[in-house]
Structure 1
Amino acid sequence: MFQLGKTLVSEEIIEKDFVCNLSACKGACCVDGDAGAPLTEKETEILVDIYARVKPFLREEGIEAIEAQGAFVKGEDGEWETPLVGNSECAYVIFNEQNIAKCGLEQAFEKGVTKWKKPVSCHLYPIRVTEYTELTAVNYHKWQLCDPACQLGESLQVPIYRFVKDALIRKFGKKWYTELEDIAEEYHSSKA
């Protein structure tokens, strides 16, 4: 781990490679698991505000789950998250013709219906951020479902921090990301 401002960053995000391989995993990270996507307090408000505009992009099962549970729920860990359909997929998930899971929130954003892409936790994946009183931990979340993404990332030589560049800038800012790039460059130079 190394410290960057008020963040503690796992070296794995500069060491490991990753590029989502949706043709292999079918978007399983949005479907498998026992909890919804982590949300910030501000994101819960956004979900409520945009729900009526996003609703036409969602599946009937997702709409039913959201209308029964709410636009967001409190998870077992006491944190906010997206609701689930049948304790499985995220209520905001949709499926394309190839049965690949996609994000209904992101679809609405891409069509210009909203100005909010999706929860930052989804945008950052496979990075998970944990807020503490004094520092924020930035870690790689290894999940067997993403083995094809690790293999594709290796073949393309794309480290995690580059794969999620836009999300890291969204979360921490351009200056923070530029400093991360400098650290990564120094790190790789020292390994050469």
Structure 2
Amino acid sequence: MIEVGNVLVHEDLLNNDFVCNISKCKGICCIEGDSGAPLKESEKAILEEIYPKVKPYMTEKGIQAIEEQGKYVLDNDGDLTTTCVDGNKECAYVNWENGITKCAIEKAYEAGEIHWKKPISCHLYPIRTTNYPEFDVLHYDRWHICKDACTFGKELQVPVYKFLKDPLIRTYGEEWYTELENTVKSI
């Protein structure tokens, strides 16, 4: 682990390559898994506020899931997550374009309807964050469905932390990211 400010960064984020290859995976990460995307407590209020503007970008079954379960849920482990269609697979906020999943929240953002791109856990993926009172730990979440992203990243020689520069800056700020880059250069 390397320490950058009050964040511990696992070396896997520096030593592994990753670039999403949506044309290959079709956005399967939005429709597979044990539960919805992890949410921060502060994101509940955001989902409540933006839902009316996101709803037009959602599928009917996504809207139905939200109306039945709410805009967010506690999963089987008691963790706060996005709501899923059919219990625990497809995120209710999924939208489809040409056979590829898109985020309805992100579509509303791109259309200028809202000013929040999407849950930070989605934006940061495949980085997962463990938050402690004094510090955060960032680690690389390997998932077999992202095999094409690993291959593409290796081909382009883009480490995980560089691929996720924008969401890392969104989370920790530009100064922090610059410190991360400088720390990596000094290793």
| Structure-2-length-normalised TM-score | 0.97
Q: Give the distance between the partners of 1:111 and 1:129, measured in 2 at CA.
A: 29
Q: Give the distance between the partners of 1:14 and 1:186, measured in 2 at CA.
A: 12
Q: Give the distance between the partners of 1:85 and 1:141, measured in 2 at CA.
A: 23
Deviation at 1:80, TM superposition (A): 1.1
- 1:135 maps to 135
Deviation at 1:186, TM superposition (A): 2.0
Q: Give the distance between the partners of 2:89 and 2:78, measured in 1 at CA.
A: 19
Q: Give the distance between the partners of 2:7 and 2:75, measured in 1 at CA.
A: 25
1:95 equivalent in alignment to 2:96: yes
- 1:15 maps to 15
Q: Give the distance between the partners of 1:50 and 1:136, measured in 2 at CA.
A: 27
Q: Deviations over 1:8-65 (max 9, x none)?
A: 1101111111000011111011111011001111111100111011100000010000
Cα RMSD, aligned residues only: 0.8
Q: For residue 151 of structure 1, give the secondary structure of its aligned residue in structure 2.
A: helix
For residues 149-160 of structure 1, the aligned pairs below 5 Å read 149-160=149-160
Q: For residue 184 of structure 2, give the secondary structure of its aligned residue in structure 1.
A: helix
Q: Give the distance between the partners of 1:133 and 1:111, measured in 2 at CA.
A: 36
Runs of 4+ in 1 over 4 A off after TM superposition: none
Sequence identity percentage? 52
Q: What amino acid is the match of 1:100?
A: I
Q: Give the distance between the partners of 2:135 and 2:42, measured in 1 at CA.
A: 19
Q: What amino acid is the match of 1:112?
A: G
Q: Give the distance between the partners of 1:186 and 1:11, measured in 2 at CA.
A: 13
Count of residues paired in the alignment? 186
Q: Give the distance between the partners of 1:76 and 1:165, measured in 2 at CA.
A: 31
| Structure-1-length-normalised TM-score | 0.95
Q: For residue 95 of structure 2, give the secondary structure of its aligned residue in structure 1.
A: strand
- 2:148 maps to 148
- 1:50 maps to 50
Q: Give the distance between the partners of 1:186 and 1:91, measured in 2 at CA.
A: 43
Q: What amino acid is the match of 1:8?
A: L
